[in-house]
Structure 1
Amino acid sequence: MAAKKLERQLKLLAELLNAESPRTAQELREKVNMYPDGLVAFRKRFAEDKKELKKMGVPITVLSVTESNKDAESYYVENTDYYLPDLELSEQELAALNYAANSIHLLNQLTEEEALRKLGGYSKTTENSSPLHHISSDDNLPTIFEALTNKSRVEFMYRGKPRKIEPYLLQFAGEKWYVTGNVFSEDKTKSFRTDRISDLTMSSGTDEFSVPDDVKGANLLSFTYGDDDPVTALVRIDSTYIPWVEQNLNVDVDIEPDGSGIAKFTVSNYDIFIDRVLLLLDHAEIVEPPVLRQQLIKRLQALQDAWRTHK
């Protein structure tokens, strides 16, 4: 019971941290997929999880949204508020922190936690203590984490092709892990889903490469994938929402003289993009192209008709 509760709360936290836009309770329920079927039981369990995450210091932000004919709430966690800045710990302090972290194994036999990486690294020589708990995960992750830490090259099969890469970055989104790195045969930076990797091996060398300062991970914005004709969308953002848009949609916002901002997106799935814009309510306006403005107007008219029908 305790294990399932921990796994559920970790999945909820991961969704809040990696969401492209604020998530409603129903969206989080579907993503986490570990809540009771009954609505009353779900609401009770969801409220308990939110309360416990907040008690642990997770800065959950609540936004008011409109769904059909009723008001609802959406949730997100600002990454810059959640992750620790570089604390410039000494080697002795990092060693002590690693010793404490080794009490819990979150990734099979792996003890190097994301928090330790944010603090500046971990020591392989730290004495291991008995783990308090295990959470099952992708079998490739321990090797990839070690390769990231040691800056060791890895080789694997991916969709029937042999690959050799220098791993730069690991991301989690939509219950999937993605590793990004330089592909030797192409001299390009590419991303790979870790559950599709097979025959993974790691070089015995260390410090075999340097991670570029400007490395970018996998494009996890769902509205950039689709069958619609690709268009460039310009969206005007209210000044108070600019930090959230920059952080969660991975886009630079140009500041206008009135304090608002203009964000530029490449869109290949109009419906999903409209979903994201609507979550910002009247704090965002599609400036161009006309095809997306028309799509938004149609969606708003449909919502208005639905509201009148159920009124």
Structure 2
Amino acid sequence: MIHSSAKIKLLLLWKLLKEYSDDEHPVSAVELCRLLEQEGIETERKSIYRDIDVLTHFGVDIVYTRSPRQGFFIAKRDFELAEVRLLMDAVLTAPFITNKKTAELTDKLCGLISCHQAEAVLKQIYVDQRVKFENEEIYYNIDTINRAIAQHKKLSFSYHHRVIVNHKAQLDDGREFIISPYTLLWANDKYYLAGNYEKYDTVSNYRLDRMKKIALTSQEARPFYEVCEYRDHFDTADYLRKTFNMFNGEHEFVVLRCSNSLLETIIDKFGSEIEFSCHDSNAFTVRASVCVSDGLIEWLMQYGDRIMVLSPQTLRDEMLMRIEAVHDVYGTTKKTCVPQKF
């Protein structure tokens, strides 16, 4: 049986190797002795080798190397450097994660790699200053929403929008909602709750940064199959694919003629399994099932003359109205505008 002080020594040794060692910064037995002494553990160099054998037998991937210098390092971690960098970038990019929480999460992620790697990464990621929301309730809200979904209970919350008061933007007084929650969505760099507002037979989306005073109710949630096409489970991936800018609408098949320059954009949005056909050497036609909404129209408008709606006719007519309205705003002559360049 290992004495308690020996157990503490083993745990500290493991912690120190994770914190100070990597393949470019191996730590010698002498350095490990010094680091342990700083933690109040007296030890000898020879005992370090025995302890490392114990940790290796336990499954810790500790490697001894002579290059770039003699010493030990942990070769395999739960998260590799590239994975930690990806997670850090995601945290930095997400505007719904406040500045305070961004700093806390980044610090925790740094603990997954060596101090040397963390120092190098931090010098890079703090160059970019991003816009962040200020709602600190969002983290508690996520926990409450997860519990509500798991327990099939309704949620109550106040939902806020920004208004201009005295030449400054601030949150309004909010509106009270009771929602049957179905899934959490990360889309367009924002976090959403998809659920059913009890007054309607549809699925609506709510931004988490606008939600306050969330509470789990005792009311049973309305089954999602009563308000959408899904039956066995709420298909989050399919829902996101058919929704544009988180607007909902009626599901319809749309046919679009697209410039070849938009092939990657179309595949990114709809996937590679949808129906494609070549129109000519400069364009292709695509058919997809989507929610026809203001969000879809706004998405189409951004591509100008590189996308033309072929069907349905109602969507073509709405696009023409929007195009003419833009012409009016800029003082141009009002006329029928159909994209022609492909």
- Bin the TM-score by the shorter chain: 0.3 to 0.5
**Alignment TM-score, normalising by the size of structure 1:** 0.38
Structure of larger gyration radius:
2
Structure with the bigger RCO (C-alpha within 8 Å, sep 6+) is: 1
**Alignment TM-score, normalising by the size of structure 2:** 0.35
